[in-house]
Structure 1
Amino acid sequence: MRRYGPAVLLLLTGAAILRISLFSELYLRYVQQALRPYLVVSGVVLVGLGVVAAVVRRRERVQDDDHSHSPRIAWLLTLPALALLLFPPPALGSYSAEREAAQRAAQGVGTFPALAAGDPVELTLAEFGSRAIYDSGRSLTGRTVRLTGFVTRDDDGTWYVTRLLVACCAADATTSKVEVRGADAPPVDTWVSVTGTWQPKGALGTDEAWPPVLDAASVRRTAQPANPYEKR
């Protein structure tokens, strides 16, 4: 059976990729939606190669001891693929968000388009943060907004509604977060929708303006969306 190690590894890896990309939306924890077709194709190719490798190994004869006595430790290579197949890791959360440094510059300050009519207006955290920090027209003034994300908090009790932004995949994730005031903090990593109004702080385009502040009127727990990341 040790001869089938490479084939098993290919099959497990391909099956794991197909599980998260073809039969579920778990792939959104790792990459952008546009990459799904490539994952599916990769999974199919790996499964196909695994089948071919198994057939070839079955037909060939064992010619020397080196092949017939391959080290058992090689089977450990199947463990990561098996783990991904059975226990896919969760989306990035508060730990990743807290590692992102707050770096903002004055460049980019200017006027933004008017917000859509009606309150509350749904905004991504990136949209809210851009307007709060860079919009010289103060388009958030007097408007009620709703933001959705997961909870992070500082040691002093300050808490934030947070999202991770990705350009391609989870490896390039950066943090977008908004400080929430006027409401008790839910447990860390809880997904919430927060409705409230913007509270200006600091000069536009400066580090003092980040993170932006929302005075909460209501905080409602919500389910984690299928795609937990915002597109950068």
Structure 2
Amino acid sequence: MNRIAQGLTLVLLGAAALTSTVPTDLYLNWVKPGFGPFLIAAGVVMVLLGVLVIVAELRGGDQALDQEDVVPSGAAAAGDDGPARSELDHAAAEYAGHTGDGHGHDHERAPGVAWLLLLPVLAVFVVAPPALGSYTVESTGGSSGPPPRDENGSSRFTDNLSEAAPGEVVELDVQQFVMRAWVDEERELADREVELTGFAVPTEDGEGWYLARLQMACCAADAVVNKVLITDHPAPEADTWWKVRGTWVEPEGELYDASEHEIDTSSVEAVTDPPDPYE
């Protein structure tokens, strides 16, 4: 029975990987889109292995029962000394059951414990872990730091601000806006209306709120926070998604010394959660 529980655990884990990738985009809450094919392959392998384990255990149990029916016991196998040996075997088995030296007592308790392994796996089907949100931003603290500079003192990153026509609203990732605000010594971002999409995070002092987005390199475990402060619009409910248009509030002094970046909003519009919550 232990092996059957192990096999079912593998089947359920594989099914969880498959159901989060094939019919839905649920896997995007935890990993980047490029990992989808690997999750599908891993799910198929785990399901097949689990089925093989279960089938092998069931066949092994059937063979053991067949051998017990065929092998002679007690007196038939012992010849003239059968009754004496049968009594000794019975006494030894009884002694092992009382002292715990035999394996029977342990095997009776082990299957019950093994079945508990299925509970956390079943929980995945009932309550799927959501994407990281405002709690992660609040517990992490500050935003990601400025991009590293090369030998010439310049930072390299890409956005579509330079290619946009004058007066055109520029759609940027929150991460792109933050990176540009860190290093825009020529102030190309100034007076340019940008459009950002992210989720709401309340501030600790209650003055304003953050429009935030998490940047993920591989999986949710390495997510980095990027956030923009908004003080001229009432704070919405945490973890709700918004599309914000506005202009950059230029900080005083060196850009690298800024603790956070702020935007003056011209419009704030509620939007539905995107399929991929990360950047």
TM-score by length of 2: 0.75
Please name the residue that 2:220 is paired with.
170
More strand by share: 1
How far did residue 107 of structure 1 move? 5.1
CA distance in 2, matches of 1:164, 1:186: 19
1:25·1:226 contact (CA, 8 Å) conserved in 2?
yes
Give the 3-state SS of the residue equivalent to 1:182 in structure 2.
Answer: coil
CA distance in 2, matches of 1:105, 1:16: 38
Give the 3-state SS of the residue equivalent to 1:99 in structure 2.
Answer: helix
CA distance in 2, matches of 1:136, 1:206: 10
How far did residue 206 of structure 1 move? 2.7
Matched, 1:223 2:264: no
1:179·1:211 contact (CA, 8 Å) conserved in 2?
yes
Please name the residue that 2:118 is paired with.
78
How far did residue 156 of structure 1 move? 1.7
Please name the residue that 2:36 is paired with.
36
Task: Return closer, same or farther for 1:19/1:48 CA change in 2, 3 Å cut-off.
Answer: same
TM-score by length of 1: 0.90
Q: Deviation per CA, 1:76-104: give whole Å up to 9, x if none.
A: 21122111123211100001012224363
Matched, 1:114 2:162: yes
How far did residue 123 of structure 1 move? 0.3
Give the 3-state SS of the residue equivalent to 1:225 in structure 2.
Answer: coil
How far did residue 204 of structure 1 move? 3.5
2:11·2:47 contact (CA, 8 Å) conserved in 1?
yes
2:147·2:179 contact (CA, 8 Å) conserved in 1?
no
- The sequence identity of aligned pairs, in percent, is 41
CA distance in 2, matches of 1:38, 1:8: 21
Q: Which amino acid aligns with 1:40?
A: I
Looking at CA atoms only, which structure, 1 or 2, has the larger radius of gyration?
A: 2
How far did residue 73 of structure 1 move? 2.0
Q: Deviation per CA, 1:12-63: give whole Å up to 9, x if none.
A: 1011111111221011110011111110000000111111111111101286
Please name the residue that 1:104 is paired with.
145
Shifted more, 67-76 versus 150-159: the winner is 67-76
Give the 3-state SS of the residue equivalent to 2:236 in structure 1.
Answer: coil
RMSD over equivalenced CA pairs, Å: 2.2
The number of aligned residues is 229
